[in-house]
Structure 1
């Protein structure tokens, strides 16, 4: 029997974060996925380089791929360097892949990477979310809510 997963992932060092994703999408569920990387990609990530701002994930032939994530070439990589925007395979259980595939196909959801980080064992991981896109009025509501929370904090700080 499989060991239950913790509610939050044990993040140790966050390399890249997609802050825009939480504004543009309603996040339904999150998954922790490993990434199949080459040596120079790992070295670039350890130096804190990398971006997932325009990236997304897709399910192809019972595999999940991270598309359009930018991990720049390693400065000392010479001829063994990698291609910066190549598709990278994400490592997930078959059950998780099937859930994602069903949600994307039937419910019109999107697979959005939220962050790339190194866990406590030093492995590179991606926090992947099943998300539904927000409409313009939903985004306006989010902005109003954020501004109201900020105003509440300001009022409490001034009176307290």
Structure 2
């Protein structure tokens, strides 16, 4: 866990596989009452979500928060766009990074910090298929080395 980070609600494990993460920024997120209750239960999916800058505001799209079980007619739309809380300078910085061809702003993880929901955003550049295969080879080689070291220490 990063410094000052609380309970991790959801992680986007696919982001590290699909993107080279160049920079990370912590952002607050605006949630409705039943959304935060559902998020505290860990019913959040970040898999296909992304961030867009519209009218000087950052919005996260395609983030799925399941409807709250005990909710009634006040339950929320699971995949609605949600506003991110950032300073103007941070939004300008993200906008500048997103203008570069092949880069995207993606949520890496969502967590609770001091009772507030936070999202860790990553500015990433898309990987090609050969980069992904290379990462898989490195991961397999590391796994083999660790297995061999474990056998050797027995």
Does the pair score TM above 0.5? yes
Counterparts of 1:1-160 in structure 2 under 5 Å? Answer: 8-119=2-113, 121-160=114-153
C-alpha distance in 1 between matches for 2:92 and 2:102: 15
Query: Runs in 1 of length 4+ with deviation above 3 angstroms?
Result: none
Question: Gapped runs of 5+ residues in structure 2?
Answer: none
Tell me the equivalent position of 1:4.
none
Question: Gapped runs of 5+ residues in structure 1?
Answer: 1-7
C-alpha distance in 2 between matches for 1:103 and 1:32: 16
Show CA shifts across 1:118-160 (max 9, x none).
01x1110001000000000000110011011111111111122
> TM-score when scaled to structure 2?
0.94
C-alpha distance in 2 between matches for 1:116 and 1:41: 13
C-alpha distance in 2 between matches for 1:154 and 1:83: 46
Contact 1:9 1:32 in 2 (8 A): no
Show CA shifts across 1:60-87 (max 9, x none).
1111100000011112221211111100
C-alpha distance in 2 between matches for 1:105 and 1:9: 29
> TM-score when scaled to structure 1?
0.91
